[in-house]
Structure 1
């Protein structure tokens, strides 16, 4: 079986490639794609074929899918425009007769009132309408999303949010990558919609406690109103639209969109998901190394 990983130059895509190899796939069975293949030279050096694939350019998609049995469609990073870009990949996958399309969606994408949901809901509906055999993996939050908050807390002693007492079932990016690799390689997943998340939910008070353990000082959680959060983000340099979007994510967290966990991810990857403190420690180390 030949598996194509889209966005393989990104953080999730690279980890999926690593997980596929660790789970027994050979380099010859993997195709790694990116808009800029020069960012995949290290992947190519391992004997993995690399191809150009740009969601916005259908002329790059069909050639990339030639001879491919399974495709991991990693969702794009342009809110509001993702569904149209994903449609190009879905259409090409249907035309190529792909036997399995795995899509990285958002938590409760078809039912949640969440600012991130509409693009993913539209994509899931497009996959169903196309009739491509598929597996939907709805990834909860990445623990790595909070690396910057922890880094700031080292100097401020504060983590702020307008999520109130909302809980988050985050997991490490590597956990989600393992989940994607498992459903790509294994039989028995077609037609399933999986809500992937960490084994344990946490609150922002618990996030602050984890940050305290990592930075060696007391860190407290300071809850904000949505209006105060937007104002703080604008004061930090975000435009009004982006500030409102970020605050709307916290509204979703406050309303419980990310609080679901049922052990599905750990069951599929065959191990517990990465604990919060461990995931944050690794994420902060990566951020420090990149600085």
Structure 2
């Protein structure tokens, strides 16, 4: 898959690689609803002999046009989204920088100055997708705004347990610590990546940017350190620091890359950390 970063200064006629069917959206988390949109685009592209593209944006529009100081809780960094798109069979990933200038682009200009120069022939998106300044454009207006050079497919939402799967729903589950529920919406356990810093018997996990952590508490996880998955527990403090409780906490100072699968909240442990005399972190049973 080829990833192409786009901002308002690009000449998109030079950027475009070939005609495509494009899935359009922010796709934070690439949950089952997003996957349905992308898979629909992939099937349509194969049917008419075109490549498949994903068009997305970064940062989140709320960071640019939302309330001052409003914090956006991301589920995945753009690079990890790209990996998921690639596994879904996407050929091109167009990532548009969402800037104040882009936020002022009218809906028709988005179609005429972005989608058409990128040689988008068909757009697939969720039924409630909007675009352009103040979200005035939608899939019902896109065909007309393209001069009928672009056709569209509207994908209905996916539900689990009578709930519409959405990035907002997943964020709410994480905020409540319901990590065991996430495979119902993501199709897999939620994963984060970062580094483990081991000093004097402590093992702190420092996560990369653009992941979301659950609240203070103890959680069952699986950690991958380059030699297979190891199941254990982590403790998140009220300061949102994360500590690996083992098994096998290295005693020597070391730093290495890890990724974690968040399995479930472990309610048998109180979310409290104390410093033992030997400087080791211990959890307190409830």
Q: If the length of structure 1 is used for normalisation, what is the TM-score?
A: 0.31
Instruction: Kindly indicate which of the two structures has a greater share of residues assigned to helix.
Output: 1
Q: Which has the larger radius of gyration?
A: 2
